[in-house]
Amino acid sequence: MQKYRCIPCGYIYDPEVGDPDGGIAPGTAFEDIPEDWVCPVCGVSKDMFEPEE
């Protein structure tokens, strides 16, 4: 699964890990995260992420 990087802070969302503290279970694709989810490090919205190369 594709990883995504937060443009402002560099946090990497890894679908294999998810964001348990944010209520996102491991194995959740970035596309399946709710639109109101925010970066757990800097708090920006999901639209501030880009695919990680």
Give per-residue pLDDT as tens, 17-36.
Answer: 999 999 999 999 999 999 99
Please name the CATH architecture into which domain 4-51 falls: Single Sheet (2.20)
pLDDT at residue number 53: 84
Contact 6, 13 (CB under 8 A): yes
Q: Which residues pair with 38 in a beta bridge?
A: 45
Q: Is 42 annotated as a binding residue?
A: yes
> Does residue 9 have a known ligand-binding role?
yes
Residue 40: what pLDDT?
98
pTM of the model: 0.93
Q: How far apart are CA 12 and CA 25, in angstroms?
A: 15
CA distance 28 to 24: 7
* 39 has binding-site annotation: yes
Pick 53 or 43 by higher pLDDT: 43
Q: Is 52 annotated as a binding residue?
A: no
